Amino acid sequence: MWLLELNQQSFYKIGGSHNEKNFKKVAALILVVLLTLSSTTLAFASQGEMTTYPITATNAYTQLNNVETFESEAEFDAYVNAIIGEGFMQNQRNALEIIEQFYNSLALNRSGDAEYPDYFAGFYLDDSGNLVMLVTENQNLAENLMNQDMTLSSLYESINIRFVEFSYAELHEARDAFRIAHEARRELGCVYALNVVGSGIHRAGNSLRIRLDVYNDRMIEGFRTYVFDSPLIIFEPGVRAELLPEQLPYEVVSVKNTSIAPLNVRVNPGQRISRRAVVLTGSGTMGYRVRRSSDNAEGFITSGHVFSSIGQRVYPHYLFATHLGTVERSEMDNRVDAAFVITHDTPGNTLPSGFTLGTQVVQSFWENQVVLMFGATTGASIGHVLDPDYDTTIEGQFIRGTVWTNVVSASGDSGGPVVVIEVLNNIQIGGIVWGGAPNFPDMVFIPAHRINSDFGVTPF
Tell me, what's the pLDDT at 79?
A: 72
Residue 268: C-alpha distances to residues 140, 213, 298, 435 (Å):
53, 37, 13, 21
Show the low-confidence residues of the chain (pLDDT under 50): 1-68, 252-263, 278
Tell me, what's the pLDDT at 459?
A: 98
**SS3 breakdown of the chain: % helix, strand, coil, rounded to 5?**
20, 35, 45
Task: Encode pLDDT of 218-260 as tens digits.
Answer: 999 999 999 999 999 999 999 888 887 777 665 544 333 333 4
Decide if domain 243-343 falls under CATH 2.40.10: yes
> 390, 443 in Cβ contact below 8 A?
no
Tell me, what's the pLDDT at 460?
A: 96
Tell me, what's the pLDDT at 119?
A: 84
Q: How far apart are CA 135 and CA 161, in angstroms?
A: 7
Decide if domain 351-459 falls under CATH 2.40.10.10: yes
Q: How far apart are CA 95 and CA 159, in angstroms?
A: 8
- Nearest CA to 6 out of 43, 34, 45, 32 is that of 34
The domains spanning 243-343 and 351-459 adopt the same CATH topology = yes
Tell me, what's the pLDDT at 23?
A: 31
DSSP symbols for 394-429: ETTEEEEEEEEEEEE--TT-TT-EEEEEEETTEEEE
Q: Return the domain boundaries, the chain.
A: 1-61+119-238, 243-343, 351-459
Contacts for 442 with CB less than 8 Å, ≥ 6 apart: 239, 241, 404, 405, 406, 436
By DSSP bridging, strand 233-237 and strand 207-212 are: parallel
